């Protein structure tokens, strides 16, 4: 218990599964985007704590890239959602069933 | 139990509570604010582990820029009003989601406990963090060397990806698809 590895890795696994759960059961696509951000954040937490444990900076470089890509991803996702809202008037997944069947 | 452990456990419990709040609340604004709480407490954990640059990046990029984007678009789409009809999935969907995420959580914890019990945990791949930071004039210098000397191609590609994302967002959000 001298290293924060156990606590931080358990927390990262918990947050990842919470994000996965929300992506699977939510109906609001905006909340699903936020859940994806939560999953990316938990992966960052795992990388940083291993990088801290081993005294290496490689993990933090990956965290840098993940944060950049998460910002890009949320910008694209939100603009897609805006388009969806303007064309269909809703962001709920039960309205987005045009390709069903 | 020294101070480090106590503060770490307090921050972790707060982060986990914000994550649970995120999963149970119905209002998009309260989900966004719970996500903001998760990001802030995670930045606190990074700061506690003396990874100051990552903590600052987390605060500025995630908790600043990305969350402003989310809250602004919730306001723009007027999602704050509760719409009619059930917005929670059926119990079948709910149960399947719980089953999948719970299974993955148990698998992650099991593999991690297995890793902690193995002998290569104590084996340090690099130097210890403090001596490495002293040798490198602090952590930001070391990270800059990693980024601009070793991973410069990935860094440039990340710039291209950001440019494509900006152009794509402007083009997508500007006009209506007919």
| The pLDDT of residue B87 | 58
- Bridge partners of residue B163, in order along the sequence: none
Residue in A with minimal Cα distance to B106: A13
Interface touch B132/A16, C-beta < 8 Å:
no
- Bridge partners of residue A92, in order along the sequence: A28
Closest CB to A60 among B88, B125, B143? B143
What letter does residue B64 receive in the DSSP assignment?
Answer: I
Min Cα distance B121 → chain A (Å) is 9
Alpha-helix residue ranges (DSSP H) falling in chain B = 3-24, 28-48, 52-57, 67-77, 91-117, 129-135, 139-145, 152-174
* Average pLDDT value for residue range B141-153: 88
Interface touch A61/B96, C-beta < 8 Å:
no
pLDDT, one tens digit per residue, over B14-34 is: 999 999 999 888 888 999 999
Interface touch A79/B88, C-beta < 8 Å:
no
| Tokens 């954990």 found at | B45
Q: Which is nearest to B11 in space by CA: B33, B42, B34, B49?
A: B42
Report d(CA A48, CA B86) in Å as an integer: 40
| Tokens 């407490």 found at | B41
- Quote the percentage of chain A above a pLDDT of 90: 54
* Average pLDDT value for residue range B1-12: 89
HSE (CB half, 13 Å, CA atoms) of B167?
5
| Tokens 């419990």 found at | B13
Q: Which is nearest to B34 in space by CA: B45, B48, B24?
A: B24
Report d(CA B105, CA B101) in Å as an integer: 6
| The pLDDT of residue A98 | 77
- Quote the percentage of chain B above a pLDDT of 90: 46
Residues in A touching B42 (Cβ below 8 Å): 41, 44-45
| The pLDDT of residue B92 | 87
Cβ atoms of B77 and A81 closer than 8 Å? yes
Query: Is residue A99 very low, low, confident or very high in pLDDT (cuts 50, 70, 90)?
Result: confident
| The pLDDT of residue B102 | 94
Cβ atoms of B43 and B67 closer than 8 Å? no
Interface touch B172/A76, C-beta < 8 Å:
yes
Interface touch B77/A82, C-beta < 8 Å:
yes
Q: Which is nearest to B96 in space by CA: A47, A44, A20, A74?
A: A20
CA B35 vs. chain centroid, Å, equals 9
Min Cα distance A46 → chain B (Å) is 11
pLDDT of residue A21 exceeding 80, the answer is yes
pLDDT of residue B84 exceeding 50, the answer is yes
Six token digits for residue A11: 């927390």
Q: Which is nearest to A68 in space by CA: B54, B72, B144?
A: B54
| Tokens 């992966």 found at | A43
Q: Name the pTM for this structure.
A: 0.88
| The pLDDT of residue B127 | 47
Residue in A with minimal Cα distance to B116: A6
Cβ contacts of B1 within 8 Å, gap of 6 or more: none
Min Cα distance B151 → chain A (Å) is 8
pLDDT, one tens digit per residue, over B97-146 is: 999 999 999 999 998 888 888 776 665 554 455 555 555 556 788 888 88
> Which of the pair, A93 or A11, is modelled with greater confidence?
A11
How many A×B Cβ pairs under 8 Å? 217
Six token digits for residue B78: 């007027």
Report d(CA B174, CA B4) in Å as an integer: 49
> Which of the pair, A71 or B129, is modelled with greater confidence?
A71
| The pLDDT of residue A90 | 80
């Amino acid at each position: 218990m001298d290293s924060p590895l156990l606590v931080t890795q358990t927390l990262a696994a918990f947050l990842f599964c919470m994000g996965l759960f929300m992506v699977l059961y939510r109906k609001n696509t905006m909340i699903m985007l936020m859940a994806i951000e939560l999953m990316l954040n938990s992966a960052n937490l795992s990388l940083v704590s291993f990088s801290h444990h081993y005294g290496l900076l490689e993990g933090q470089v990956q965290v840098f890239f993940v944060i950049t890509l998460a910002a890009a991803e949320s910008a694209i996702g939100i603009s897609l959602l805006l388009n969806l809202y303007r064309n269909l008037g809703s962001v709920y997944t039960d309205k987005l069933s045009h390709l069903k069947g | 139990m020294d101070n480090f452990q106590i503060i770490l456990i307090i921050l972790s419990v707060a982060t986990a509570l914000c994550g649970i709040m995120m999963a149970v609340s119905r209002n998009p604004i309260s989900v966004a604010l719970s996500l903001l709480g998760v990001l802030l407490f995670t930045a606190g954990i990074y700061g506690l582990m003396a990874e100051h640059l990552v903590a600052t990046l987390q605060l500025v990029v995630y908790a600043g820029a990305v969350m402003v984007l989310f809250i602004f678009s919730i306001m723009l789409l007027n999602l704050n009003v509760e719409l009619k009809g059930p917005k929670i999935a059926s119990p079948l969907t709910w149960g399947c989601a719980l089953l999948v995420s719970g299974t993955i959580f148990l698998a992650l914890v099991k593999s991690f406990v297995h890793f902690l019990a193995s002998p290569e945990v104590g084996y340090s791949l690099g130097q210890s963090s403090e001596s490495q930071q002293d040798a490198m004039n602090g952590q930001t210098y070391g990270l800059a060397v990693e980024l601009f000397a070793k991973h410069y191609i990935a860094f440039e590609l990340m710039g291209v990806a950001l440019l494509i994302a900006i152009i794509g967002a402007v083009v997508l959000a500007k006009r209506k698809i007919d």
